Amino acid sequence: MRKNIKLFKSIIFLLILLLTSSKAELTNKVIISVGNEIITNYDLSREIQYLNVITLGRVKKLNDQELRKIAVDSLIKDKIKITALANYENIIVNDEVIDNQIIQSTRNIGFRNIQDFKTYLEFEKYEFDEFKKKILLELQWNQLVYQFYKNQIVIDKEKIDKKLKILITEQKKNMEYLVYEIFIEDAAIKESNEKSEEISTEHNIVVEEQDGIIIETESASYNNKKKLIDSEKSIDEVADVKIKDQITIDDLIKNIKEKGFENTAIQFSSSPTAQLGGGLGWISESKFSKLLLKFIKKTKIGSITEPIPISGGILILKVENKRVEENKIDLEKKMKELIDIEKNKQLSNFSTNYFNQVKNNIKIKHFND
C-alpha cells in the first residue's frame, strides 16, 4: 500500500514537472532565427513593450498584426547588428557617451530628466537596463560604421561656406518693428451719420482662417490661430467691453491725431494692451502674418496703418520704429554644426548600405507559431 502511495506521488511530481517545462517552452518558443541568433515569443513581447514605451503608448492604436510586424522587423534588425558586431570585439563605448545618449533619447521621448523616465518605466513594467541595452547596441553599431567609412566621408567646404553665407544673409534680412495697437470691437463702434465715409466691414472683412491676422505675442487681442474673433465671447475674455465709450472710426482717428495713439488706446482699445497704451513691443517680422506685414511695410515710421477690418472689430496699428534684428552668429560653432550634419547624413547612407550587405549574408528563418 505504501509503495502504491509512493508511486502515485512520484507520478504526480513528474506530471507537474512536465507541465511546468511545457509552459516554459511555450513562453520561450523560438519563432525566428537570424543566422545564429534566435528570437522567441518572450523577445517579441518585450519588444512590443519597448515600442510602447518609446512611443508613449501610441502603438496601442495599431492592430495586433501591424504591431507584431513592426516588433518583428525591429528585432530582426537588432539581431543582424549583433551578428555583425560579434566579429569586432574592439568596439567599446564609454559610459559618458552612453549616459549622454540616454539623456538625449529620454528628452526626445518627452521626459525632462532620467528620474521621471525611470518612474514611467516602472509604471509600464519595463526595465531601465533593457532600454540602456538598446541604446548601447545603436551606439556600437554607429561606431562600427564610422570605423569602416570615416575615410570615405567627403566634406565639400565650398558647399558648407555657401550654406553659412545664406544663414548670415537671412539673419540680416530679418526686421523688427516697434508696434502699438488699438482694437475696437464691433459693440464699441458708433455708426457715423455719413455712411459713405465709414469703413464698410460687410465686404472688406478680413477672415482670419484664410488670411491669418495673427501677431505672435501674448498680449495681442487677436492672437488666436484656431478660430475667428467672436465679439460676444473672445473679446469679453481678454478685456472689459467699453460700451460707454462708443466712437466712430473717423472720430477715433481724429482722437489719435489730437491726443496721441497711446492715450486713445487707453481710452478706447478693447485689447489687453490698452493699459500699456497699446504697446506690443519689438516684434520680428517673422512673427507677423503676411497680411499684417503688408500693412506695416507700407506704413511710414511714426504713422498708423489704415483701419483693418477683422472679425469682431477694427484694428489700427502704429509703427513707432523699426530696426534690423541683430542675431549674432558664432561662425565657428555654426560651421561645426553644418559639418556634423553633413557627416551624419553621409554616415546614415553608409549605415544603410552596410546593413543591407550584412543582411544579405545572413539566413533568416521564420517558424510556425
Q: What is the pLDDT of residue 196?
A: 37
Q: Is 363 left (phi over 0), alpha (psi -120 to 50) or beta?
A: beta
27 pLDDT above the threshold of 70:
no
- Amino acid sitting at position 3: K
Mean pLDDT estimate for the chain: 79
Other CB atoms within a 10 A radius of the CB of residue 321 amount to 11
Question: Is the pLDDT assigned to residue 240 strictly greater than 70?
Answer: no
Q: What is the pLDDT of residue 222?
A: 56
Q: What percentage of residues in the chain have a pLDDT greater than 90?
A: 43
> What confidence tier does 270 reach under pLDDT thresholds 50, 70, 90?
confident
pLDDT at 325 over 80: no
Question: What confidence tier does 215 reach under pLDDT thresholds 50, 70, 90?
Answer: low
Give residues with Cβ within 8 angstroms of 130, minimum separation 6. Answer: 46, 50
Chain centroid offset of residue 265 CA:
37
Copy the grid coordinates of residue 235: 473679446
Ranked by mean pLDDT, which of 20-24, 62-66, 310-314 comes out on top?
Answer: 62-66
Tell me the percentage of the chain whose pLDDT exceeds 70.
Answer: 75
Sign of CA dihedral 201, 203, 207, 211: negative
Per the model's pLDDT, the better-predicted residue between 102 and 229 turns out to be 102
Whether 272 and 215 have beta carbons less than 8 Å apart is answered as: no
CATH topology of domain 175-324: Chitinase A; domain 3 (3.10.50)
Looking at the predicted structure, is the pLDDT value of residue 86 above 50? Answer: yes
Cβ contacts of 353 within 8 Å, gap of 6 or more: none
Strand pairing report for 30-34 and 37-40:
antiparallel
pTM to 2 decimal places: 0.56
User: What is the rounded average pLDDT of the residues 133-137?
Assistant: 95
pLDDT for residue 236: 42
- 144 vs 192: CA distance, rounded Å: 78
Band of residue 271 on the pLDDT scale cut at 50, 70, 90: confident
Strands 364-366 and 279-284: unpaired
Domain ranges of the chain: 175-324
Q: How many CA atoms lie within 13 A of 87 on its CB side?
A: 7
Question: Rounded to 5 degrees, what are φ and ψ at 52?
Answer: -65, -40
Secondary element (H or E) of residue 284: strand 279-284
Note the pLDDT of residue 71: 93
Decide: residue 221, CB within 10 A, 0-12 exposed, 13-18 middle, 19+ buried.
Answer: buried
The stretch 268-287 carries a mean pLDDT of: 83
What torsion do the CA atoms of 102, 107, 111, 117 make, to the nearest 10 degrees? -10
Nearest Cα to 56, choosing from 130, 106, 113? 106
Residue 5: which pLDDT band, with cuts at 50, 70 and 90? low
- The kind and range of the H/E element at 355 are helix 331-360
- Structure confidence at residue 238 as a pLDDT band (50, 70, 90): very low
Residue 116 predicted with pLDDT over 70 = yes
pLDDT at 267 over 50: yes
Report whether pLDDT(46) > 60. yes
CA–CA distance, 99 with 225 (Å, rounded to integer): 40
